């Protein structure tokens, strides 16, 4: 597992939970006693963030090992020879109790609570939930131990503000409070959601940067499970939003000056990822033909626009036939159809080096209309289709 996990000491009792977390015990990493339980978040089998000690009460001054838990680490089991045990090594169960934190949002001038203010929760620098304050200006959550939090309060007509909160040190209070004060502002709130184009689902782990093109200042956030982002923008300043993630095409969107009366700008950006497959709507072919019909040309023009927007993107044009005729004939026919789509794009300025044309024949029927099944012409036509698959991006 490499030097991020292994030391000159002992690393043992590995356990992989759902969500790519690897738990193990070690006396080589810095800990509280003998063997301590550590966690490493894996990406492609690599502990890219290093390892983290789970801290007390899981770990003690003695040996703690054999850790097993659920995905969110709310319940589980651990073995230990700590003094509370019956004899030597004993098995303990645990259930994590809620450590409640109240987040209170106020008007900075009047000290009145602000209802319906958004509170963005950031954990270790990454966007998490977006909460809404109640009539008392409050929202709450259960905080995790050994975590650095930031809470951003966002409300129309106010400048965004944030506070930081750490649980690296333990508090004996069962309920804790933090307050955020917002000042009136003419700034514009820019918020939106990053989605994957292939299924329109929120994209997590996307680095979103807003650049003020007037003073060249930048703000950056990393999206969480809801794909959301929020920025505070000065009026009368053009700005650019850039969304970046490994194995996805970088998306840039430019916006003109925000007017003083514009309080909120909402937008969504879509990302194209390597391996994504898109069916091109309305690209169908007449039986035994491979020329591009007029209705198909319009859809290919949409692909043309994508390829021009992302000049480093490479795609595979994948053509399919219905199940009629022989397999060999259908492979040749689908290859001709894919080539016709490729030639259409090349004729309009796309280098052939960015395109791959491949025919799949009748190997990927969509609707069960295989050999020996009676289907209508419209059902057969659903299978005579072209897709494009993203092969490479930058």
Quote the tokens at residue 114. 């602000």
Q: How many residues does the chain have?
A: 394
Write down the residue that tokens 């025919």 correspond to: 359
Q: What is the pLDDT of residue 105?
A: 98
260: confidence class by pLDDT, cuts 50, 70, 90: low
Distances from the Cα of 391 to the Cαs of 36, 199, 247, in angstroms? 44, 17, 10
User: What's residue 136's pLDDT?
Assistant: 95
Q: How confident is the model at residue 224 (pLDDT cuts 50, 70, 90)?
A: very high
Give the pLDDT score at 174. 73
Q: What are the CA-CA distances from residue 207 to residues 124, 149, 201, 227 (Å)?
A: 14, 18, 16, 10
Can you give the pLDDT at residue 283? Answer: 57
- Tell me the pLDDT band of 69, cut-offs 50, 70 and 90: very high
- Structure confidence by residue, pLDDT tens digits, 107-163: 999 999 999 999 999 998 899 999 999 999 999 998 987 889 999 999 999 999 999
Query: Model confidence at 287, in pLDDT bands (50, 70, 90)?
Result: low
Residue 257 reports pLDDT greater than 80? no
Radius of gyration (Cα) for the chain, nearest Å? 28
- pLDDT at position 284 is 54
For residue 250, the model assigns a pLDDT of 96
Q: What is the pLDDT of residue 86?
A: 78
Our CA angle for 188, 193, 195, nearest 5°, is 155
Sheet with strand 385-392: strands edge to edge: 277-284, 385-392, 314-319, 355-359
Confidence of residue 261 (pLDDT cuts 50, 70, 90): low
State pLDDT tens for residues 193-212: 999 999 999 999 999 999 99
* Burial class of residue 296, CB neighbours in 10 A (0-12, 13-18, 19+): buried
Domains in the chain: ranges and CATH: 11-95 (no CATH), 100-182 (2.60.40.1120), 188-271 (2.60.40.1120), 277-392 (3.30.1330.60)
- Model pLDDT, residue 379: 87
Q: Are strands 314-319 and 355-359 parallel, antiparallel or unpaired?
A: parallel
| Verdict on whether the full-model pTM lies above 0.75 | no
Rounded CA-CA distance 281/385 in Å is: 8
> How confident is the model over 274-282, as a mean pLDDT?
84
* pLDDT above 60 (res 290): no
Query: How confident is the model over 69-91, as a mean pLDDT?
Result: 88
Work out the number of other CB atoms within 10 angstroms of the CB of residue 270.
16
- What is the rounded end-to-end Cα distance, in angstroms, of the chain? 29
- Judged against a pLDDT cut of 90, whether residue 316 lies above it is answered with yes
């Amino acid at each position: 597992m490499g030097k991020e996990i292994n030391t000159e000491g002992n690393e043992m009792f590995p356990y992989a939970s759902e969500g790519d977390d690897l738990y193990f015990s070690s006396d080589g990493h810095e800990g509280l006693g003998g063997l301590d339980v550590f966690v490493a978040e894996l990406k492609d089998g690599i502990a890219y963030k290093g390892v983290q000690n789970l801290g007390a009460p899981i770990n003690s001054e003695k040996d703690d090992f054999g850790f097993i838990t659920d995905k969110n680490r709310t319940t589980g089991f651990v073995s230990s020879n700590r003094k509370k045990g019956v004899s030597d090594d004993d098995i303990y169960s645990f259930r994590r109790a809620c450590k409640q934190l109240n987040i209170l949002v106020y008007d900075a001038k009047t000290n009145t609570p602000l209802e319906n203010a958004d509170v963005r929760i950031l954990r270790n620098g990454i966007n998490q939930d977006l909460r809404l304050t109640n009539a008392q200006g409050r929202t709450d959550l259960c905080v995790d131990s050994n975590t650095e939090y930031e809470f951003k309060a966002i409300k129309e007509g106010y400048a965004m503000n944030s506070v930081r909160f750490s649980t690296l040190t333990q508090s004996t209070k069962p309920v804790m409070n933090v307050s955020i004060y917002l000042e009136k502002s003419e700034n514009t709130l820019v918020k939106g959601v990053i989605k994957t184009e292939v299924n329109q689902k929120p994209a997590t782990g996307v680095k979103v940067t807003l650049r003020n093109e007037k003073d060249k200042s930048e703000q950056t956030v990393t999206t969480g499970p809801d794909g959301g982002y929020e920025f505070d923008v000065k009026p009368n300043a053009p700005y650019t939003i850039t969304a970046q993630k490994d194995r996805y095409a970088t998306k840039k969107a430019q916006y003109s000056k925000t007017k003083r009366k514009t309080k909120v700008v909402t937008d969504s950006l879509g990302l194209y990822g390597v391996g994504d497959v898109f069916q091109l709507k309305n690209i169908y072919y007449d039986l035994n033909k491979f020329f591009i019909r007029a209705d198909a040309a319009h859809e290919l023009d949409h692909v043309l626009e994508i390829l021009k927007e992302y000049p480093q993107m490479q795609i595979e044009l994948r053509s399919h036939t219905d199940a009629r005729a022989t397999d060999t004939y259908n492979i040749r026919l689908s290859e001709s159809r894919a080539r016709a789509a490729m030639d259409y794009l090349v004729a309009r300025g796309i280098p052939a080096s960015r395109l791959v044309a491949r025919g799949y024949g009748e190997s990927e029927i969509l609707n069960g209309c295989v050999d020996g099944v009676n289907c209508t012409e419209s059902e057969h036509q659903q299978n005579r289709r072209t897709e494009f698959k993203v092969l490479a991006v930058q």
